[in-house]
Amino acid sequence: MIVQAGGAPNHRAYLRAFLKETRERLREDAGPNLSAGKEILIDRAISKIAILRAMEEHAAENGIFINGQVAPSLGKNFLGYSNSLRRDLEVLGIERKGAAAIDLMSYVREFDEQKSAEGKSDAAKEDSPAQEDVPDVKE
């Protein structure tokens, strides 16, 4: 693997730390008792992330154009690695979650409880004297 084999430049220790943390987070997201296949997918995803980061840093240091053309590493290669990483994450089951579905019965119960509480509050106000009915007492 790139991180363990020294493929990441030594002066980029932050990249090593990022990749290590990302691996741990992916393993947590994938759940306990990972299959060998999921372990391999996570390792490949980390390698792809490292390559993508190296490409991004190279582009930041050297620009994205060579002789007026997009640098080859940022053309098909970058897109290929990005799409491959996306597919790995999809297979691992790590995708953006939509808003939680509303349980209609729970919503109705909460709504009824809220209205019932408001009704009790209104009834309590009717039983107590209004502010203008209370005489102003001066000592």
Give me the tens of pLDDT residue by residue for the chain, a chain 139 residues long. Answer: 444 444 455 557 888 999 999 999 998 888 888 899 999 999 999 999 999 998 888 888 888 888 888 887 688 888 899 999 999 999 888 755 555 567 778 878 888 898 888 877 666 666 555 555 555 555 5
Residue 52 pairs with which residues in a beta bridge? none
Residue-level pLDDT at 1:
41
Q: Is the dihedral of CA 102, 106, 110, 112 positive or negative?
A: positive
Q: Please state, as a whole number, how many other Cβ atoms lie within 10 Å of the Cβ of residue 1.
A: 12
What H or E segment, with its residue span, contains residue 69?
strand 69-70
Q: What is the pLDDT of residue 129?
A: 56
pTM given for the model: 0.58
CA distance 78 to 48: 10
pLDDT score recorded for residue 98 = 52
Helix H segments across 1-139?
Answer: 2-5, 13-30, 36-62, 76-92, 104-127
